[in-house]
Amino acid sequence: MRRSIRFLLGHEERELHDVDPTMTVLQYLRSEERKTGTKEGCAEGDCGACTVVIGEPDGERMRYRAVNACILFLPVLDGCQLITVEHLKREDGELHPVQRAMYELHASQCGFCTPGFVMSMLALYLNETSPSRDTICDALAGNLCRCTGYRPIIDAAQAMYDYDWQDPLRAREAETAARLTALRSEETLALVRGDRRYFAPQSVEALAELLAEYPRATLLAGGTDVGLWVTKLHQDLDTVVYLGAISELHTIVEGEAALEIGAGATYTEAFDALARHYPDFGELLRRLASTQIRNSGTIGGNIGNGSPIGDSMPVLIALGAELVLRSREGERRMPIEDYFIEYRKTALRPGEFIERIRVPYLAPEDQFRCYKISKRFDQDISAVCAAFKVRVEQGRVVDASIGFGGVAATPVRARATEAALKGQAWDEASIAKGEEALAAEFTPLTDMRASADYRRLVSTRLLRKFFVETVDLAEPTRVLAEEVV
Ligand SMILES: Cc1cc2nc3c(=O)[nH]c(=O)nc-3n(C[C@H](O)[C@H](O)[C@H](O)COP(=O)(O)OP(=O)(O)OC[C@H]3O[C@@H](n4cnc5c(N)ncnc54)[C@H](O)[C@@H]3O)c2cc1C
Ligand code: FES
Ligand code: FES
């Protein structure tokens, strides 16, 4: 087993032996490297002040993504390149176009948020050549500025493409990719410091073996939930097993009847396939957290966390998704709704992990929509999240599956409402009955996000919205049915 982590800080190689497994990249940069350009605002992934760019090899090219350093554990950098705001200026002193545009368009006042914006813009600059305003806004939605205002920052993100510039990161990418590939290893990374242990297996088999030895270890995927247990709840995680280095867990396979998503695939990695097969899910994912969080966070982690207000679960419930769980003993499968037992309690057994999620494709006659109700459009947690899939044949509902978040202690399937709709005409009268069933089906809580009454009311309104949006699409079948009759 390997006992040290190796990565590139800019273009300089680092090898660290005595690593605290849950030290964050932000703490490392500021306290060990004395690189204080990266700021701490919230320490919980919300404000973007700590944004850095991570590079990973992809053949001879490099993939760059913006992430929040405040909730990223240092060992996750193993085999990666870390780029901070200090690496942007060229050796001859010339500012990077991102910096120049921010400066020339007056996009900074107190400057506290500026390095974070600059790094989000750098990732955009490296990945897109001519982004739309919407794409720019999506890229910056995870960065908060309290004094400049966003207009000049967005202007700067548009203007940064106007400067003549040969980007040094792209110019050196083949060399960087080769260096990182040489740093990587098939061996499990195993770090021990005092009572704390951190493992990064490189295959599903090695993971299953490790979990047989440490059945109660904390599984770490993107760390966008687990990171906060350390930075906000000050939990001491004694054994952490990182899943991100296992390439099999990142795979997305378009099978014959279903899309299979590896539990370690990030939202960003899974986005294209999900948006193509289930377009409304794509729209919802654009509103899930921020670019930085989506670049780290995984669907497997969303399910693993089992939060009643996680966004992907209601959608996956409505789509009829199945979880494939694995341990050294083998594989077992279950419908996703059976995974959630009670508040934050799941069906996962010690030594087990979610390996992949099977999501059946929609049939042409299926109507499917999902809705997220939150106080802000971007970067906000749902008060209620709902997803509906209904199949109408000859004017009648022949199948309905409905998933909800934010209305019970777990993500839930609205079985009573489904039963009220099945076999009924797809019309106003049935929807009224469906609303009645839905209002009685759950007992939501009142909390800072919404009152129980609001949650109940909005749930029924979402069912109605779904009906209004889809009734005309189902209409051709109904008209046909009437003609036949
Ligand atoms: C600023 C911010 C905004 C957010 N916004 C949203 C939002 O809008 N909507 C939303 O739903 N969530 C949101 N989240 C929560 C979080 O990003 C998601 O829940 C994310 O999907 C977690 O994935 P992860 O890979 O980071 O999981 P991790 O933090 O690594 O793990 C989360 C949990 O899942 C377990 N786990 C991870 N992988 C597996 C596996 N393969 N098998 C079994 N268990 C596993 C872990 O042990 C842990 O219990 C937000 C978080 C932050 C910090
Ligand atoms: S410090 Fe706010 S997102 Fe990291
Ligand atoms: S410039 Fe002050 S917070 Fe953005």
Mean of pLDDT values over 16-21: 94
Percent of the chain residues topping a pLDDT of 70: 98
Closest CA to 354 of 429, 264, 271: 264
The pLDDT tens digits for 359-405 are 999 999 999 999 999 998 888 999 999 999 999 999 999 999 999 99
pLDDT bracket for residue 479 (50, 70, 90):
very low
Note the ligand closest to the C-alpha atom of 211. Answer: 1
Residue 221 CA to ligand 1 centre (angstroms): 8
Per-residue pLDDT, 485: 35
pLDDT at 459: 97
Global pTM reads 0.96
Of the residues 47, 105, 112, which should be mutated to test ligand 3's pocket, given the most ligand atoms within 8 Å of the CB?
112
Interval between CA 332 and ligand 2 midpoint (Å): 38
- pLDDT tens-digit readout, 194-238: 999 999 999 999 999 999 999 999 999 999 999 999 999 999 999
pLDDT at 71: 98
65 contacts 293 by C-beta, under 8 angstroms = no
Any idea which of 83-97, 284-298, 464-478 has the lowest mean pLDDT?
Answer: 464-478
Residue entry with tokens 């080769």 = 178
Q: Which ligand gives the minimal distance to the CA of 224?
A: 1
Confidence of residue 480 (pLDDT cuts 50, 70, 90): very low
pLDDT (average), residues 125-137? 97
pLDDT at 265: 98
Query: Which of these, 103, 43, 61, lies nearest to 223 by C-alpha position?
Result: 43
Mean pLDDT of 326-355: 97
Angle in degrees, CA 338, 339, 342, rounded to 5: 95
pLDDT over 60 (residue 476): no
475: number of Cβ within 10 Å: 13
User: What mean pLDDT value characterizes the chain?
Assistant: 95
Distance 344 CA to ligand 3 centre (A): 37
Q: Which ligand is nearest to the CA of 406?
A: 1
Q: What angle do CA 333, 334, 338 make, to 5 degrees?
A: 155
**pLDDT at position 378:** 87
**Separation in Å, CA 197 to CA 32, 66, 245:** 21, 27, 16
Ordered by where they begin, the domains of the chain are 5-183 (3.10.20.30), 189-242 (3.30.43.10), 247-360 (3.30.465.10), 368-484 (3.30.390.50)
pLDDT bucket at 474, cuts 50 / 70 / 90: low
Burial environment of residue 227 by CB neighbours within 10 A (0 to 12, 13 to 18, 19 or more): buried
Average confidence (pLDDT) over 234-249: 97
For range 171-180, the mean pLDDT: 97
Provide residues with CB under 6 Å of ligand 2: 40-43, 45-50, 68, 70
At 91 the pLDDT is 86
Tell me: pLDDT of 355 over 90: yes
Report CA(446)–ligand 2 centroid distance (Å): 28
C-alpha–C-alpha distance, residues 227 and 66, integer Å: 16
Kindly tell me the burial class for residue 23, based on how many C-beta atoms sit within 10 Å of its own C-beta (0-12, 13-18, 19 or more): middle
Within 10 angstroms of residue 425's Cβ, the number of other Cβ atoms is: 16
Residue 179 confidence (pLDDT) above 60: yes
Q: Which protein residue has the closest C-alpha to ligand 3 atom 2?
A: 110
Question: Would you state the pLDDT for residue 379?
Answer: 86
